[in-house]
A and B are shown apart, each in its own frame.
Chain A
Amino acid sequence: MKIFENELISLFPNTDKGVLFNKKVAGYWSNIEKAENKKLIDDLDNNSTETVIQKYLPHLTRVIFSNERSGGLELLNLTGNETCIDYGCMWGGMTIPLSKRTKTVVGVDQTLESLKFLNHRAQEENQDNIILINEDIKEFPCLENKVDIAIINGVLEWVPEHGSIELSKYYGKFSKKNYKQTPIEIQKNFLKKVHNNLSSNGQLYLAIENRYDLNMFIGLPDPHSNLKFTSILPRRLANLVSKALLGRPYVTWIYSFNKLKKLLIDSGFSDVELYMCFPNYRFPKKILPYDSQHLSDFHTLIPEKNDFGKTTIKRRIRRKLENFIFRTLKMKFFSPSIIAIAKQ
């Protein structure tokens, strides 16, 4: 770990509250606004991370602290000696559990505040094998063949975005923006870098929404743009809709199972294994190999009752539809999320 750590320190010689950086990063991505984030970090001097989240962002408690997020880690066949990078680690939903199973985890994120928060969390959990780096993941330097596990959990779709994103001001909101490359070019370049960093036995863990998630067809909004049907529309049409309604093209590209596999192979990965993830990759309850035979005992995970203890007609229809599509028709390509495990 020491040699690896030293190499990172030479690449990122500056520190700010336990976070390494080279130069100030311009980008920002967070569910919360910058001012709110600053207030939260300042409060960490007096309170635990959990207390602070309960105080300012109780609705994000599960997102940040739940161990459910790590449900897919067993797909990686971990030995405990791995050096890992969690690209776009944010508050450490995957970083913390991964650090409990492996030798070293490098958490990379462009949002300094998220990393400062994660640093507090790591200290609270007594995890001293986490190295935090403030850098745009697209600019992360080459660590050729030194990484055993690369984690890209809910991040690939955001890679084409740039600049400052405060989700509350971005999600479904109008803001004019220009992009120099197509989303797939940016994503492919990023994946090639990730691939180059992997050791010969290295593995990639990639989790992302399925472009053809059943929910997209019944009018649930795209989880990245908050526009209906954009993910399933042809890209050009989605672009037109997004430009008209949001002032910017549709760039948060997600893929079908087959297209994702192709993208990974085109980026240099091999032995790509695909998994269906229910109800989503953020809080996976079931992860099944991408094969219809595993859907024969499928049972919907949509709860009978909503948060207020009521059963609605819409909810009943959704439950019946899910069971029909997956258990009866075994239409695996409509699964909500994808996890891909690939080799170097």
Chain B
Amino acid sequence: MIKLLRNATHQNSICLYSFNLINSSFYRKTTYDKSSLCYIENEIKGWQWYEKTNKSISNSILNHKLFSNFGLVDIKKINGQIHPTWKGYTPQSKKTIVLAVEHYFRIWKKEHTHLYPIHGDLSLDNIIVNNNEITFIDWEHFQTKATPFWHDIFYLLFETFWCTFRKNNKICVDSLMFIKKTVQSMHNKKQLDSTYLKAPLKTTINIVKQLWDESDTSIRINNKFPILNFSNSEILEIDTFIKK
């Protein structure tokens, strides 16, 4: 049984399929577009890096083809649950985020550098939870030596907040309290960059913009990374609250 799950979202010309065949189950990503081949390449590199630092997963890439005009990658399916991003902060998603912080710290701290690899699209949709075990999936935007430590987690916190904000049409203090507590726990584990301490949301937004300004792509970043849609006054209000 084959399903097409996604086709050219955010203008990146990647198709995502689910294959449930008699003897194998996997996800397949394909592209016929030269400018989108980099996402297939990133996906492969991302999984390879992740496997190297995370011994609990292996052989995630079952097959891949990279030509000048076509790319394909088959990724093993991972059991578990996903809490959809669009639901925003819920008791379950908060639990997932706490586990994701632990997971990130365990995996990323093994790098000895001042700029760390980046997942690049760490949202709740890309986190699988299975018996409190976390796996990050969807490595299309992976980059090596790209950002300060914790950037992916900051992105996760604020994208989830964006969805809560959109759903309720107001800044939800409860969710901000959760972000504040999480940021504090992150700082306790590994000192945060001073820019994050001063203005966490503004810094996260600036890094996302900087990363995409540097890359040659037609992707619609405001759709892909919704936190870029916060207004300046909202950014200030959120950052002030977290800093307090």
- A interface residues with partner B (beta carbon < 8 Å): 66-68, 70-72, 74-75, 96-97, 100-101, 125-127, 283-289, 294
* Tally of chain B residues near chain A (CB < 8 A): 21
22 A-B residue pairings within 8 Å (CB atoms): A67-B8, A67-B33, A70-B15, A72-B4, A74-B2, A74-B15, A74-B28, A96-B32, A101-B70, A125-B69, A126-B68, A127-B69, A283-B7, A285-B4, A285-B8, A286-B7, A287-B3, A287-B4, A288-B3, A288-B4, A289-B1, A294-B3
Cross-interface CB contact of A289 among B3, B7, B8, B67, cutoff 8 Å: B3
Residue-wise, chain B 46-73 has the 8 Å CB interface mask toward A (1 for contact) of 0000000000000000000001111000
Contact B69 A100 (CB under 8 A): yes
B6 interface contact, C-beta 8 A: yes
What B residues does A70 contact at CB under 8 A?
15, 32
Residue-wise, chain B 26-38 has the 8 Å CB interface mask toward A (1 for contact) of 0010111100000
Contact B4 A284 (CB under 8 A): yes
B5 interface contact, C-beta 8 A: yes
- B interface residues with partner A (beta carbon < 8 Å): 1-9, 13, 15, 17, 28, 30-33, 67-70
What B residues does A74 contact at CB under 8 A?
2, 4, 15, 17, 28, 30
B19's nearest neighbour on chain A, judged by CB, is A74
Contact A71 B69 (CB under 8 A): no
Cross-interface CB contact of A68 among B2, B7, B68, B70, cutoff 8 Å: B7
Cross-interface CB contact of B32 among A100, A284, A288, cutoff 8 Å: A100
Contact A286 B5 (CB under 8 A): yes
What A residues does B17 contact at CB under 8 A?
74
A96 to B13: give the CA distance in the assembly, Å.
15
What A residues does B70 contact at CB under 8 A?
97, 100-101
What A residues does B6 contact at CB under 8 A?
285-286
Contact B7 A126 (CB under 8 A): no
Given the known interface contacts A67-B13, A71-B15, A100-B32, the answer about A284 and B7 at a Cβ–Cβ threshold of 8 Å is yes
Closest CB-CB distance, A33 to chain B, in whole Å?
30
A120 to B6: give the CA distance in the assembly, Å.
30
Contact B3 A67 (CB under 8 A): no
What A residues does B8 contact at CB under 8 A?
66-68, 71, 285
A104 to B70: give the CA distance in the assembly, Å.
16
